[in-house]
Structure 1
Amino acid sequence: MRFISPKTDFAFKKIFGSDQSKDILIYFLNAMIYSGNSVIQDLEIIDPYSAGDVVDLKDTYLDVKAVLEDQTTVIIEIQIWNVKDFEKRVVYNLCKTYGNQLKSGQGYFDLNPVIALTITDFKLFPSTEKVISCFYFQEEEDHLPYQENELKLVFVELPKFTKQLEELESVIDKWIFFIKEAPNLEIIPDQLREIPQLEQALTIANQAGLSESELEKIWKQEMALWDWRGAWSFAKREGREEGREEIRLEGKRNLLLGLLESRFGQLTRNAIRLRRRYANALIEALTNQDLDRLSKAIWDFNTSDDLLNWLQEHSN
């Protein structure tokens, strides 16, 4: 058996946000948010980009969204890169989801709690070795919780989890191990098979059950992420060794153009076919600092207009 990595957006949604994922998501959220206790008994998986969102607000970046039986909304995102202002984006998504509950004529009593569960493939809080960290409003000195515990942030930092298969003890351990190590497994281990929902998640993640188009989407995402991680580190190292600004800038530009082509596929093909000279000219004019900013911003682009708008805003 070969299993896809739940770290890619497509795979994460396939495992936790598809029609057959309800029981999987219930047990996963109980582990990540409620320490393995069976607090959640039922939920509804909904489209995180449903028409109910306010159209004049900045787009929300979510992977899975669910409404629990007590009407609490849980928004879930998995993030590979520690991009600029990522922490602000998490808070923004939480607050936007909370405020968007109210429709015309409704009062504040119609607001229900919102929980943001964010899984990162990097260390977000270096001052602690806790794998799971939870935040909510509290009084600054006495740490008295706010009377209405409406907003909660839960972070799972994958690099801090170092247990091996034989060391797994709790249901929390097993779910985190699955997200982090699924592509390295060759069979479904007995330790994970003990949890039916985890076995079901691994069954969905089994490459043998996926279509060619699904496998291609996952492969492109994984290749783009790994290529970018290695290529960007190489470019920085080469630039330092050469000590020549023009070589370093040219290397960054070439890497970014290649990444845009492989990471976004049709987006960049359209941009290059229709406005290639214009886009290339804008990229050519970027400073070293702007190229670093673009390397982080591209993960938030969804259309060719997003790319070109960013280039226009940062052009001299």
Structure 2
Amino acid sequence: MKWKVSPFNDFIFKKLFGTVGNEELLKAFLNAVMKDKNLPLIEEVTIIEKLELEKNHFEEKLGIIDVHAKTDKGEVINIEVQLCNEYNIDKRTLFYWSKLYSSNIKKGQNYEVLPKVITINILNFNYYHEKWVHLFFTPTADVDSNLKMNELEVHFIQLPAFRKRHEKNFKTHELERWLTFLTQSANEEELEEIVAMDQEIFKVYEEIKHLLSDEEVLAVAEAREKQFLDYNSAINHAEARGRQEGVELGIEQGEFNKSIEIAKNSIENGLDDELIVKITGLSIEEIKRLRNELNK
């Protein structure tokens, strides 16, 4: 039951939950998320097919692949799997939430037509404290927490935080059952038990087997997996070299020198300017100056 690529590989996840015909699988996973926070369940969901991750999109190294859907109540749902930490997920989430929210109104229409937008971010890194697996955000009034602006609903699911949990309550907790299965964070016997006890997870299991038996699908998924590993390796290498060279330069030269060294190594490892700005906190002008200096 152990697979060559993770179901959270963004290409495979899109095939599983973002393909027309797999609405029941998407609804089952969404309702596991909703139940975890005692939120109203979804009766029906329609998948809206958008961008597919194909081979010719690989040049977009950090391209985001998401699942876009609507519920029977008109709510818009966006599920995003993010494998790499770009150090901006909170701001990025609010930006894309606002774009989705505002895109549902046309000139001259009443604001009442704007639907609730639910965003679910599945992160392969801990952006918040590692003790939190599932965080739920919605604005509440400062005078009464029962007063809410219900149009905004944002979820973060941190996979490393879940993997780190020693005891996973998959027998009675639906979201933990899904996450245990999808992250493969259990032994073979427990994974077989999960598949046997949950009909929708069994369907996902069968769909994964079918997808990974297709040589072309497997090749694309494995290429995407390698791309992610290479990217993380480049960042880790750049940061490690920067830290080491910062020590050699002397701590008294401060964090600025350390950031400069990390930036230089990031440039040498092929990272783009905007990402280096996020990693180091240096200005875009400083990064360009360093790039010109290194290219001489």
Same fold (TM over 0.5): yes
Paired letter, 1:192: V
TM-score norm. by structure 2 comes to: 0.74
How far does residue 167 in structure 1 lie from its aligned partner after superposition? 4.5
* Alpha-carbon RMSD: 3.6
Answer yes or no: is 1:293 the counterpart of 2:277. yes
Q: Mean alpha-carbon deviation: is it higher for 21-30 or for 185-194?
A: 185-194
Shift of 1:154: 1.1
The answer as to whether partners of 2:84 and 2:232 remain within 8 angstroms in 1 is no
Q: Would you say how many aligned residue pairs link Structure 1 and Structure 2?
A: 261
- Following superposition, the deviation at residue 160 of structure 1 comes to 1.8
Distance across 1 between alignment mates of 2:64 and 2:98:
13
- Establish whether residue 156 from structure 1 lines up as the match of residue 157 from structure 2: yes
Structure 1 counterpart of 2:42: 40
The DSSP-based 3-state class of the residue aligned with 1:155 is: strand
Q: Measured at CA, do residues 103 and 314 of structure 1 come closer, stay the same or move farther in structure 2, by a change above 3 Å?
A: farther
Superposition deviation, residue 196 in structure 1:
1.3
Instruction: Indicate if the aligned counterparts of 1:119 and 1:158 stay in contact, CA closer than 8 A.
Output: yes
Shift of 1:24: 0.6
TM-score, structure 1 normalization: 0.70
Alignment of 1:237-276 (within 5 A): 237-241=240-244, 243=248, 251-256=265-270
- Partner in structure 1 of residue 144 of structure 2: 142
Shift of residue 173, structure 1, vs aligned partner:
0.8
For each residue in 1:19-41, what CA deviation from the matched residue of structure 2 results, as whole angstroms up to 9, or x when unmatched? Answer: 23211100100011233888212
Q: Per-residue displacement from partner, 1:114-153 (whole Å, max 9, x unpaired)?
A: 1111111222222x7232111111112432423x511111
- Going from structure 1 to structure 2, the CA distance change for 1:235 and 1:137 (only over 3 Å counts) comes to closer
2:32 and 2:175 in contact (8 A); partners too: yes
Structure 1: unaligned runs, 5 residues or longer: 51-59, 258-282, 297-310
Please list the CA deviations of residues 192-216 of structure 1 after superposition, one character each: whole Å capped at 9, or x if unmatched: 3311111111222227744222111
Checking the alignment, whether the CA contact within 8 Å between 2:34 and 2:40 is kept in structure 1 is no
Alignment deviations for residues 226-262 of structure 1 (CA, whole Å, 9 cap, x no partner)? 23323432343344445479997765334227xxxxx
Report the identity percentage: 25
1:134-185 CA distance string (max 9 Å, x none): 1111112432423x51111111111221446875231111111123227986
Q: Matches of 2:6 and 2:224 in 1, distance apart?
A: 10
- Indicate how the Cα distance of structure 1 residues 189 and 163 shifts in structure 2: closer, same or farther if over 3 A, else same: farther
Secondary structure of the structure 2 residue equivalent to 1:140: coil
Which residue number in structure 1 is paired with residue 231 of structure 2?
Answer: 228
Ranked by relative contact order (alpha carbons within 8 Å, sequence separation 6 or more), the top structure is 1
Distance 1:293 1:105 in 2: 40
The Cα of 1:97 is off from its aligned counterpart by: 0.9
